[in-house]
């Protein structure tokens, strides 16, 4: 070829949450039963939607207009409904024109970073959700730019770290917040959110808030929406129904633009995002039509409250099992449905292993760990081969920390307890070997 084909940024594209599945599938074909703790899919973990939600969707499917196109920005009635919900918070006020639908937040995230100048950066949290960090790094042809979440302080953001990085890096144009956080399950305290808004205001940045888990909190926690605290700072909130309804297979997410009228550059950026969706024609129509009918139904709140309570109970069960291991830094979660567990410094060694009885499985795992890989990934491979539990190493979440992420989704409590007892026993065996 006369010209270089592949962008330098392409090497930054990775998604260990699904990459680990390739390894697990190899072991499954050898007869190993797998417990899937790698991905946040409630349906996969035995969650059943209430019949009334299914009835609403079934009724929509019978209507001919459902199968046609919708406006590029999304179904107007749905955008009106969502604008009313946001405006009812009493903070920033929006119109339906400030909302644009995408085919899931993965689609929306890719668009945001695609249309930022390649020399400009959006700083995000570390550990980082891979879709954000990979997309941002790929657009910049450089490793992700991050601020620290502190495992020794409830996973709260290190605001001094954030401030100094913003202050001394003029290429930063935006700050990313994931609230509640994936992968840690941390919920940003109100005062910290307000401080981030002030940092954005001081340095004339825009804010991006991934709020896909905004309404998934428990055990007394409350997540504050960007719309409530953003004041006159330009910003984007990313929302969807994959986790909250949940309907992950719908691929239905949207952006809300805040304070477009306060900054002309930001307004042009939002217009570019709208234009990008227009080129694609539109996003999937059926789930959009379902949103006001389901989320606006008086039964939805009680359903969501009960589901959140169940997640909170599972968080406590997991804490009871794992917090007793002294080599771990363990934080209880209060939002989303993940927990990130960190090995203390110096705990992981390159010689450690777990007993794997099956010779074929043992041979496969030993081949994987003989490569030059992070120590937490080495642990994850042994846990997979020895216990059949598939988790994700934290080194894959743009972090220098060593640990792993689990989900809080298994609805069969017997299976949940067994899975996390296996994880605990595997950790103890591995560290003592």
Helices 359-369 and 16-28 pack at an angle, to 10 degrees, of: 150
Distance CA 300, CA 317 (A): 26
**Residue 203's pLDDT is what?**
98
* C-alpha closest to that of 101 among 314, 277, 235, 299: 277
Distance CA 419, CA 396 (A): 22
Distance CA 14, CA 277 (A): 24
Asked if residue 7 has pLDDT above 60, the reply is: no
Burial 233-260 (b: 16+ CB within 10 A, else e): bbbbbbbbbbbbbbbbebbbbbbbbbbb
Distance CA 85, CA 90 (A): 10
Q: What is the pLDDT of residues 162-206, one digit of tens each?
A: 999 999 999 999 999 999 999 999 999 999 999 999 999 999 999
**Residue 44's pLDDT is what?**
87
Q: What is the pLDDT of residues 226-263, one digit of tens each?
A: 999 999 999 999 999 999 999 999 999 999 999 999 99
Q: Which residue has the higher pLDDT, 324 or 388?
A: 388
**Residue 4's pLDDT is what?**
60
Q: Rg of the chain over CA atoms, in angstroms?
A: 22
In DSSP notation, 25-94 reads: HHHHTTT---EE-SS--TTTTT----HHHHHHHHHHHTSGGGGS---TT--HHHHHHHHHHHHTTSSS--
Q: Which two tokens stand for residue 240?
A: 């969807």
**Residue 12's pLDDT is what?**
46
User: Rounded to the nearest 5 degrees, what angle is found at the Cα of 38, between the Cα atoms of 34 and 39?
Assistant: 115
Asked if residue 332 has pLDDT above 50, the reply is: yes
Ramachandran bin of 169, using left for φ above 0, alpha for ψ from -120 to 50, beta for the remaining angles: beta
**Residue 241's pLDDT is what?**
96
CB atoms within 10 A of CB 210: 28
**Residue 97's pLDDT is what?**
97
* C-alpha closest to that of 107 among 298, 279, 332, 229: 279
Q: Which domains occur in the chain, in start order?
A: 8-47+300-432 (3.90.1150.10), 51-298 (3.40.640.10)
Burial 337-362 (b: 16+ CB within 10 A, else e): bbbbbbbeeebbeeebbbebeeeebb
Asked if residue 46 has pLDDT above 80, the reply is: yes
Asked if residue 15 has pLDDT above 60, the reply is: no
Q: What is the pLDDT of residues 277-307, one digit of tens each?
A: 989 889 999 999 999 999 999 999 999 999 9
Measured between its terminal Cα atoms, the distance across the chain in Å is 52
**Residue 17's pLDDT is what?**
60
Asked if residue 52 has pLDDT above 90, the reply is: yes
What percentage of residues in the chain have a pLDDT greater than 70?
Answer: 96
Q: Which two tokens stand for residue 360?
A: 């074929």
């Amino acid at each position: 070829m006369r010209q270089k084909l592949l962008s330098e940024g392409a090497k930054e594209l990775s998604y260990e949450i699904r990459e680990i599945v390739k390894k697990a599938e190899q072991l499954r074909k050898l007869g190993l039963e797998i417990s899937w703790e790698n991905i946040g899919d409630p349906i996969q973990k035995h969650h059943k939607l209430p019949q009334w939600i299914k009835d609403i969707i079934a009724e929509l499917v019978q209507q001919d207009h459902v199968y046609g196109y919708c406006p590029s920005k999304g179904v107007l009635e749905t955008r009106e409904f969502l604008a009313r919900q946001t405006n009812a918070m009493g903070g920033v006020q929006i119109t339906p024109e400030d909302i644009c639908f995408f085919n899931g937040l993965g689609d929306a995230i890719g668009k945001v970073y695609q249309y930022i100048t390649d020399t400009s950066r959006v700083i995000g949290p570390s550990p980082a959700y891979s879709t954000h960090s990979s997309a941002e790094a790929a657009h910049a042809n450089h490793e992700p730019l991050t601020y620290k979440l502190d495992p020794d302080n409830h996973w709260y953001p290190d605001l001094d770290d954030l401030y100094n990085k913003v202050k001394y890096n003029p290429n930063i144009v935006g700050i990313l917040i994931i609230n509640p956080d994936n992968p840690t399950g941390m919920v940003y305290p109100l005062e910290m959110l307000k401080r981030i808004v002030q940092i954005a205001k001081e340095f004339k940045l825009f804010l991006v808030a991934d709020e896909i888990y905004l309404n998934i909190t428990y055990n007394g926690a409350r997540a504050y929406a960007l719309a409530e605290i953003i004041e006159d700072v330009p910003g984007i909130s990313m929302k969807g129904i994959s986790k909250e309804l949940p309907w992950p297979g719908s691929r239905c997410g949207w952006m809300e633009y805040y304070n477009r009228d306060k900054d002309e550059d930001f307004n042009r950026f939002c217009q570019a995002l709208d234009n990008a969706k227009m080129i694609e024609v539109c996003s999937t129509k059926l789930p959009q039509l379902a949103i006001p009918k389901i989320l606006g139904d008086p039964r939805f709140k009680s359903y969501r409250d009960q589901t959140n309570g169940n997640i909170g109970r599972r968080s406590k069960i997991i804490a009871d099992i794992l917090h007793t291991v002294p080599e771990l830094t363990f934080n209880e979660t209060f939002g989303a449905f993940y927990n990130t567990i960190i090995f203390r410094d110096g705990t992981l060694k390159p010689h450690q292993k777990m007993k794997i009885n099956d010779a074929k499985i043992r041979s496969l795992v030993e081949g994987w760990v003989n490569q030059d890989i992070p120590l937490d990934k080495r642990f994850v491979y042994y846990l997979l081969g020895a216990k059949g539990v598939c988790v994700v190493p934290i080194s894959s979440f743009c972090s220098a920390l060593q640990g792993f992420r689990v989900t809080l989704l298994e609805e069969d409590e017997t299976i949940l307890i067994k899975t996390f007892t296996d994880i605990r026993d595997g950790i103890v065996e591995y560290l003592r070997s």
